[in-house]
Amino acid sequence: MQSFKIISLDMFQTLVNIQGRRAEVWKPLLKQEFSEARSLELGSQLLKGYYTAASAAREAGTFISSREIYYIGFQSILQKYGLDYDSTQAVENLFAQHRLSEMYADTLAFLERICEEYQVCIVSDTDELMLPDFYKNYPITLFTSEAYQSYKNDSRNRMFTEVIAHYGVEPGQILHIGDSAADVLGAARAGIRSCWLNREGHHWDHEIKPDYTAETLDEVYELLSAASSPGFINQS
């Protein structure tokens, strides 16, 4: 008997690499002043602002969409650096570049394998318009923060409770795979098992630990194969 019935997946930095589109986000804003270093600097500021706004909303028990957060972030950066560009247009381009994010080398084979063996969903802290649409080629159910007005690991933890309710299984029969602390911590609070996909060799510094850690989706599939073998013992 399989230990897991449902495979839940994060999107960005798990299935696709948004970092490969960073230059195209900032070239229209920086124009002749564009450089890789500058795009990295401003990209880091924009992402920091995103996490700050999302965290504040989580703590307040409210919700703000990715579109709203990024609009505020671009407004701040444009004003700070005196850049002549429209914030709405900047957000539209950011969304477009997210949709163009390329799959990692191990993504396609992984999806084809697990979609044959498990029920699969994507759980993403994004607006739906940000997501690449390749997932539509597979029997994958989508859960977004925009749709449920909630984030992974916020006070309601609705993203993961909705996954449990949708499939009607025990939480421990779901494995969520993602690259962020919110993926692991939110899943754990719902009783869902987690696999931290640590592609870049980061250090885990939270008290609650992931049930599993892998560096690639190939490693994740090996874990799943082992979990479906007779005599498999869960780690937790």
163-222: per-residue pLDDT in tens? 999 999 999 999 999 999 999 999 999 999 999 999 999 999 999 999 999 999 999 999
What is the pLDDT confidence band of residue 235, given thresholds at 50, 70 and 90? very low
What burial letters (b/e) apply to 32-47, b meaning 16+ CB within 10 Å? eeeeeeebeebbeebe
pLDDT at 230: 57
Q: Distance between CA atoms of 68 and 73, rounded to whole angstroms?
A: 9
| 8 Å CB contact between 120 and 139 | yes
- The continuous run of DSSP H or E covering 17 comes out as strand 16-17
Architecture of the domain defined by 6-16+103-227: 3-Layer(aba) Sandwich (3.40)
Q: Where are the domains of the chain?
A: 6-16+103-227, 18-99
The average pLDDT across 128-140 equals: 97
Asked if 235 and 210 touch (Cβ cutoff 8 Å), the reply is no
pLDDT bracket for residue 32 (50, 70, 90):
very high
Closest CA relative to residue 91, chosen from 116, 79, 73, 103: 73
Mean pLDDT of 110-132: 97
Residue 155's pLDDT is 83
Give the CA distances from residue 198 to residues 177, 204, 210, in Å, rounded to whole numbers and listed in that order: 10, 9, 11
Q: Which contacts of 211-220 are long-range, i.e. CB under 8 A and separated by 24 or more positions?
A: 211/175, 211/235, 211/236, 212/175, 216/106, 217/104, 217/106, 217/107, 217/110, 217/177, 218/106, 218/109, 218/110, 220/110, 220/177, 220/195
- Average per-residue pLDDT for the chain: 93
CA distance 227 to 1: 9
25's CB contacts (< 8 A; 6+ apart) are 39, 43, 93, 94, 97
Q: What is the pLDDT of residues 35-79, one digit of tens each?
A: 999 999 999 999 999 989 988 888 888 899 999 999 999 999 999
Higher pLDDT among residues 189 and 229, named by residue: 189
pTM for the model: 0.92
Mean pLDDT of 111-117: 97
> Per-residue b/e over 177-208, b at no fewer than 16 CB within 10 Å?
bbbbbbbbbbbbbbebbbbbbbeeeeeeeeee
Phi and psi at residue 8, to the nearest 5°: -110, 135
